[in-house]
């Protein structure tokens, strides 16, 4: 592609071909019962008109482009008005003509990938009309609001935060919020998959994808399932352990994004702990074939959870520096064991932000995971009486395996 010279002649042919593709889709729509859809000839002519406007603009006729676009826009408004008077509504046909004009203009004045991408995406939207409408009908209100909140925290909040360090602890609001967005984005994928697949694919699948959101929340939810439905206790324990197994891979990905140096140090330790969890889950006797849905997982793109994560991340960053200053590096291990009973993501990511890799920090990360594993065993086992012994044995053995990995 780099060696190809995109001359005006080739760009002209590209405008012809791309607009013909849009026109072919419109012809198909007309054959399906839309009599107002313009066909191949109209779209090709519209694209060539746009290409001609771009040529005149480059030749110095500055008003050619805006006047030409205004003329085409006026024609499309008149077309829409006429169809509306006869009871036909919708802007699709008129807007597709404007897109073809735009394709013709872009083929001359922009990189060729831009009109090509506009054409492909436009044809996709036009072709998949029925599927898009079905998806919109099934779209859950909470999921739609989650997408809106994602746009708020990324496109509005993030640009407003200052990207500079404050205080002697180098607290950077913008970088902190980037981590919040990153963690929430990964968690939202798991939340969405749990909502869509959990009740259909089985409890253990809910555990796997729910572990991307919060393995602690899964442990609590599955413990309740085992308590109210003893026949599902084995499947519930499997789901809880699988969620905790996924946690190691999720945290490894987050650490690698924040600090590749720490990611490389943990690259074999965390997958090893994940593999142990998979073996422990497979060893659980499970005679239940019934499916269950976990409905109490928190959407990570709610504004409040995002703010809570940001606060915890900042507090743990400060606490890590204070503990290290007053108690030495060994104090971080004690702090890790304490915070492991709650959400470990903010603590681990605050530790992994360090510029240099230190053995004591690797140990503190693994000790936080050890404490979190014990806490999840307690959360699950305290509710799931039918499999309480199995849960405590498996979570306990799993937690002990963190110690040799932390000492290596």
Q: Long-range CB contacts (< 8 A, 24+ apart) of 69-72? A: 69/101, 72/46, 72/97, 72/98, 72/101
Report yes or no on 360 lying in a domain.
Answer: yes
Q: How confident is the model at residue 374 (pLDDT cuts 50, 70, 90)?
A: very high
Tell which wins on pLDDT, 216 or 48: 48
Domain identity same for 23 and 152: no
Domain identity same for 292 and 340: yes
Report yes or no on 240 lying in a domain.
Answer: yes
Q: Which range among 165-179, 343-357, 367-381 has the greatest average pLDDT?
A: 367-381
Report which DSSP code applies to 166: B
Q: Is 70 exceeded by the pLDDT of residue 258?
A: yes
Tell which wins on pLDDT, 373 or 166: 373
Q: Is 70 exceeded by the pLDDT of residue 190?
A: no
Residue that the structure tokens 């995109």 belong to? 6
Report yes or no on 86 lying in a domain.
Answer: yes
Domain identity same for 126 and 158: no
Instruction: Please state, as a whole number, how many other Cβ atoms lie within 10 Å of the Cβ of residue 358.
Output: 14
Domain identity same for 106 and 253: no
Q: Is 50 exceeded by the pLDDT of residue 1?
A: no
Domain identity same for 98 and 173: no
Report yes or no on 2 lying in a domain.
Answer: no
Return d(Cα 39, Cα 371) in angstroms, integer: 66
Report yes or no on 1 lying in a domain.
Answer: no
Q: Long-range CB contacts (< 8 A, 24+ apart) of 120-125? A: 122/22, 122/96, 123/21, 123/22, 123/25
Q: Which of 15-24, 124-133, 156-165 has the lowest mean pLDDT?
A: 124-133
**Domain final position from 88, 113, 135:** 135
pLDDT at 169: 66
Domain identity same for 237 and 382: yes
pLDDT at 299: 58
Q: How confident is the model at residue 291 (pLDDT cuts 50, 70, 90)?
A: low
Q: 334: which 2 tokens?
A: 């004690």
Domain identity same for 49 and 145: no
Query: Containing domain of residue 184, as a range?
Result: 139-407
pLDDT at 396: 94
Under 8 Å between Cβ of 297 and 217 = yes
Per-residue pLDDT of 62-84, as tens digits, reads: 888 889 888 888 888 887 777 77
Q: How confident is the model at residue 11 (pLDDT cuts 50, 70, 90)?
A: very high
Under 8 Å between Cβ of 295 and 238 = no
Domain identity same for 124 and 187: no
Q: How confident is the model at residue 292 (pLDDT cuts 50, 70, 90)?
A: low
Q: How confident is the model at residue 370 (pLDDT cuts 50, 70, 90)?
A: very high
Domain identity same for 189 and 109: no
Is residue 7 classed exposed, middle or buried when 0-12, 13-18 and 19+ CB atoms within 10 A define those classes? exposed
Domain identity same for 259 and 148: yes
**Domain final position from 86, 103, 135:** 135
Domain identity same for 244 and 373: yes
Residue 214: partners with Cβ closer than 8 Å, 6 or more residues away: 187, 297, 298, 300, 343
Give the pTM. 0.62
Report yes or no on 227 lying in a domain.
Answer: yes
Report yes or no on 354 lying in a domain.
Answer: yes
CA nearest neighbour of 160 among 143, 171, 173, 169: 173
Per-residue pLDDT of 308-333, as tens digits, reads: 777 877 887 788 778 867 777 678 78
Q: Is 70 exceeded by the pLDDT of residue 4?
A: no
Report yes or no on 28 lying in a domain.
Answer: yes
pLDDT at 201: 55
pLDDT at 144: 74
Q: 201: which 2 tokens?
A: 């694919």
**Domain final position from 135, 165, 195:** 135
Return d(Cα 94, Cα 72) in angstroms, integer: 10
Average pLDDT, the chain: 81
Average pLDDT on 55-65 reads 87
Q: How confident is the model at residue 214 (pLDDT cuts 50, 70, 90)?
A: confident
Domain identity same for 196 and 65: no
Tell which wins on pLDDT, 72 or 139: 72
Count of structural domains within the chain: 2
């Amino acid at each position: 592609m780099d060696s190809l010279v995109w001359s005006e002649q080739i760009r002209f042919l590209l405008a012809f071909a791309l607009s013909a593709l849009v026109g072919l889709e419109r012809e198909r729509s007309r054959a399906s019962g839309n009599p107002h859809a313009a066909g191949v000839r109209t779209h090709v002519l519209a694209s060539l008109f746009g290409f001609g406007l771009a040529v005149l603009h480059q030749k110095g006729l500055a008003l050619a482009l805006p006047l030409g676009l205004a003329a085409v826009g006026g024609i499309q408004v008149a077309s829409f008005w006429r169809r509306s008077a006869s009871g036909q509504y919708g802007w699709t046909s008129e807007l597709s003509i404007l897109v073809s004009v735009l394709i013709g203009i872009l083929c001359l004045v922009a990189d060729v990938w831009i009109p090509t991408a506009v054409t492909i995406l436009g044809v996709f939207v036009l072709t998949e009309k029925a599927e898009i409408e079905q998806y919109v009908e099934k779209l859950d209100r909470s999921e739609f609001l989650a997408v809106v909140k994602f746009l708020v925290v990324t496109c509005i909040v993030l640009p407003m935060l200052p990207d500079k360090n404050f205080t002697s602890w180098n607290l950077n609001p913008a970088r902190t919020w980037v981590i919040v967005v990153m963690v929430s984005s990964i968690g939202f994928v798991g939340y969405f998959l749990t909502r869509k697949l959990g009740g259909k694919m089985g409890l253990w699948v809910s555990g796997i994808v729910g572990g991307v959101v919060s393995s602690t929340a899964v442990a609590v939810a599955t413990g309740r399932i085992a308590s109210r439905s003893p026949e599902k206790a084995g499947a519930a324990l499997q789901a809880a352990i699988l969620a905790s197994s996924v946690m190691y891979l999720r945290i490894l990905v987050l650490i690698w994004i924040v600090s590749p140096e720490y990611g490389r140090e943990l690259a074999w330790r965390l997958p090893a702990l994940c593999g142990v969890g998979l073996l422990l889950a497979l060893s659980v006797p499970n005679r239940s074939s019934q499916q269950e849905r976990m409905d109490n997982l928190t959407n990570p793109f709610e504004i409040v959870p995002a703010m809570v994560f940001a606060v915890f991340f900042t507090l743990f960053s400060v606490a890590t520096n204070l503990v290290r200053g007053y108690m030495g590096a060994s104090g971080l291990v004690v702090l890790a064991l304490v915070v492991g009973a709650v959400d470990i993501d903010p603590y681990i990511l605050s530790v992994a932000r360090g510029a240099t890799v230190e053995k004591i920090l690797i140990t503190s990360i693994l000790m936080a995971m050890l404490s979190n594993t014990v806490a999840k065993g307690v959360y699950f086992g305290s509710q799931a009486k039918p499999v309480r012994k199995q849960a405590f044995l498996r979570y306990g053995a799993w937690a002990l395996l963190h110690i040799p990995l932390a000492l290596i």
